[in-house]
Structure 1
Amino acid sequence: MTQNKEIIVHVITNFAGVGGAEMMLARLIQKTERDFEHVIISLIKTSEVYQSTLERCKSYYALDWNGVNSLQVIFRLRKLLSQFSPKSVQCWMYHANILTSISMMGLKHPPKIFWGIHHSLSSPKEESLSTKTALVVSKFLARKPVGIIYCAHSSLTQHRQFGFQNQNSTVIPNGVFLDNFKLNTKLHQPLVVGFAGRYHTAKGYPYLFETMAKLKDEPIIFKIVGSGASLNNDKVKTLFEKYQLDAAKVQLLDQISDMPNFYQSIDVFLMTSITEGFPNVLVEAMASGVPCISTDVGDAKYIVDNNEYIVKARDSHGLRNAILKYYNLSENEKIELKEKSREKIEKKFSIDWVAMQYIKFWET
């Protein structure tokens, strides 16, 4: 007779984007579906992007939350959680943390609620009004959950300084399926530098273009992917024309679906962000054997683990020098750096290890 699996309910603010929290939830469910029955409750909506993940679940729900209907959503959430009576509820992102904690108030036998924070607080003043409000409310509710999982060491430190108090707080980084990323030891001629990130203030696009402008006379090709990374985006077009870049050397590829193949097409990965929590792209690139040059934001330094290729944020001159430093390495040195990049990810960021940390935390 087959023993019933334990149910884990995941409450996420929105299961429709392609952010780090969403991707980590999808990977965690795929890795642990043999051990648990998963239920996903998205406060806003779900997306076909995660259809294969949703099909792995016992059930899933989208509550169409829009802020105005918060009370209605809280009662619906309370009803669903009472219906499933899970031992543990894992929340993902601020608003899910808040609404789940409120929905469970007053229950005689509430489940163990674990918050998940996948956000950097390096620039609190620049956050949206919605996020600022969520932060204030979260600070007062932070003692309520059994524990809080942060995706980055920097995020844990920042939130504690902001006033989040919960003695059972830990860092569990985002993990990757190593089999999805093959070691790339190929060296391209000319050198190909890759960048991946949607057009957003946090991603540091002005500094990306400044860096490329400083290298436009070098035999280097840049491949830029991400939603909005196109000349159809007026802001990107303005930057492109301002620095008189060559379309043959700066390839704007917009959003793509096959990131593993993208990593195979580049030699080194560049991240110019001015704020991050846990930058998944660095882990994916390094899992592919692609060395990374990054600004010192979030847990970038912890992931890259090579100070020679970590530059302070907004420093296009430093990014230029780091790229040239890699460019001037010998072929053997470049290949050795590729192999070491993959080894670092195998040791610290495999989905097997990460999933085990989640399971252990749920047992606290």
Structure 2
Amino acid sequence: MSATKPTIVHVITNFAGVGGAEMMLARLIEQTESQYQHVVIALMKSSSIYQTTLQRCQAHYALGWNGINTLPVTLKLRQLLKQWAPHAVQCWMYHANVLTSLSLLGLKQAPNFFWGIHHSLASTKEESLSTKTALILSRYLSSQPTGIVYCAHSSQIQHQTYGLNNPQSVVIPNGVFLQQFQPNLELHQPITIGFAGRYHTAKGYPYLFETMSLLKDHPIRFKIAGGGASLEHPEVKALFEQYQLESEKVQLLDQISDMPAFYQSIDAFLMTSITEGFPNVLVEAMASGLPCISTDVGDAKFIVDDFGWIVPPRDSKALAQAILNYVQLSSNEKINMKQLVRQRVETNFSIDHVSQQYMQMWSQNA
């Protein structure tokens, strides 16, 4: 083990999907590898999606947790934390928070460790039994970690109201590599509005389709990206037919791999979600110079600030009117907005700015 750089151990529930927490962990490791050596412990499994990230690490583990084997996995986690004796432990998501807390109980030289919460409590009834159990345990264990990192102000308020109490609670937003997203200062004809989100209740697809139907008579084109955004999906096909939309004006792109190119192909970004925590997609869109029209969910209002339009969730008429407000701007006003939203991200949501906040927290509490 190298003694030249302090070690940070990251414990994450699952390092296999493309959720906000996983993406943020990957970016944070890449950004801070010159200052720290990183060890990743995935309670469940790791994916080849993060092969490059794992190669940057001093070591990585996947413990195969499935719920039934909670005790042996917790003991293995305890063993690994004792073995590495890290400078600090950063947890990512509920189950990682809880199992790390349990694994450190009674340890004489326990490292400072920080919970990471990347979730909204807007719809707890829809959570799985496993998540509900983790939440209940979180309420009892929340005073144990050195601090709690929330990715969204709205999430911090929700969880503290729920009963998570820790005097060292901070909000550190997710960040992006600015060089991956570049503004396109040209405007498209017709004006093109983009949406990106998988087909899921939280993303508000019915309101998206109703909004597009309200604007059928306007010279506006929509590009819809995300897993399930296809006429092969029966519910999407039903919505498309219900509102009598035209494929020339509404392009369903399904899952796409090149999001920066997608952002380059549109003029403004639309988010119709009915619940969110910290919507990364808004930051990516704004980094790409796109004004955003979004529902008032999670930290959307904080992200967009005064550089876009925020409307109530489930209000298609308000969404349609906000889109028209954008469309009716002059070309110069639209281009000026592109520059302003990019500056907003450069100032607040760059990975450099965000990683500095993590490193300051790790060092101050060492």
TM-score range relative to shorter protein: over 0.9
Identical residues among aligned pairs (%)? 66
Question: How far apart, CA to CA, are the structure 1 residues paired with 2:213 and 2:187?
Answer: 23
The alpha-carbon distance between structure 1 residues 307 and 176, as it changes in their structure 2 partners (threshold 3 A), is closer
Displacement of 1:242 in angstroms is 1.4
Matched position secondary structure for 2:114: strand
When normalised by structure 1's length, the TM-score is 0.97
Q: Name the structure 2 match of 1:302.
A: 302
Partner of 1:291 in structure 2? 291
Q: How does 1:219-234 map to 2 (within 5 A)?
A: 219-234=219-234
Asked if structure 1 preserves the Cα contact closer than 8 Å seen for 2:272 and 2:294, the reply is: yes
Query: Any idea what the Cα deviations from partners look like across 1:127-169, whole Å, max 9, x if unmatched?
Result: 2322222111111110010000000111111111111100000
Which letter maps to 1:225?
A
Letter in 2 for 1:28: L
Query: How far has the Cα of 1:3 moved from its partner?
Result: 5.6
Query: In the aligned structure 1, how far is the partner of 2:253 from the partner of 2:308?
Result: 29
CA positional deviation for 1:308: 6.0
- The amino acid across from 1:135 in the alignment is L
Pairwise mapping of residues 321-340 of structure 1 onto structure 2 (< 5 A)?
Answer: 321-340=321-340
1:165 matched to 2:182? The reply is no
Contact 2:63 2:73 (C-alpha < 8 Å) held by counterparts? yes
**Cα-Cα RMSD:** 1.2
Distance in 2 of aligned mates of 1:308 and 1:27: 26
TM-score, normalization by structure 2: 0.97
Please give the alpha-carbon distance, in whole angstroms, between the structure 2 residues aligned to 1:227 and 1:27. 23
Q: What secondary structure is seen at the aligned counterpart in 2 of 1:68?
A: coil
AA aligned opposite 1:129: L
Spell out, residue by residue over 1:34-87, the C-alpha distance to the aligned partner (whole angstroms, 9 max, x if none): 111101111111111111111111111111111111112111111111111112
- Quick one: distance in 1 between partners of 2:245 and 2:316? 16
Alignment of 1:195 with 2:227, yes or no, is: no
What is the letter of the counterpart of residue 338 of structure 2?
Answer: K
Change in CA separation of 1:131 and 1:34 when aligned onto 2, cut-off 3 Å:
same
The one-letter amino acid paired with 1:354 is V
d(CA) in 2 for partners of 1:215 and 1:66? 47
Structure 1 unmatched runs, 5+? none
Aligned mates of 1:75, 1:204 — CA distance in 2: 41
Q: Secondary structure at the match of 1:252?
A: strand
Q: Give deviations 1:204-234, integer Å, cap 9, x for gaps.
A: 1111111111112221111111112122222
Aligned to 1:141: 141
Partner Cα separation in structure 2 for residue 10 and residue 3 of structure 1: 18
Aligned-partner SS, 1:185: coil
Matches of 1:318 and 1:261 in 2, distance apart? Answer: 28
**Cα separation, 1, equivalents of 2:233 and 2:257:** 19
Matched, 1:251 2:213: no
Q: Which residue of 1 aligns with 2:18?
A: 18
1:200, CA displacement in angstroms? 1.1
Q: In the alignment, does 2:97 pair up with 1:91?
A: no
Contact 2:290 2:338 in 1 (8 A): yes
The one-letter code matched in structure 1 to 2:39 is: V
User: Which residue of structure 1 lines up, in the alignment, with residue 313 of structure 2?
Assistant: 313
Q: Would you say the 8 A contact 1:301–1:307 is kept in 2?
A: no
How do 1:114-125 residues align onto structure 2 when only pairs under 5 Å count? 114-125=114-125
The unaligned stretches of length 5 or more in structure 2 are none
Aligned-partner SS, 2:254:
coil
> Secondary structure at 1:293's aligned position in 2?
strand
Give the equivalent residue in structure 1 for 2:360. 360
Q: Distance in 2 between matches of 1:63 and 1:18?
A: 19
How many angstroms does 1:171 deviate by?
0.3
Q: Which residue of 1 aligns with 2:36?
A: 36
| Alpha-carbon distance in structure 2 between the residues aligned to 1:308 and 1:91 | 33
Q: What residue is the counterpart of 1:349 in the other structure?
A: 349
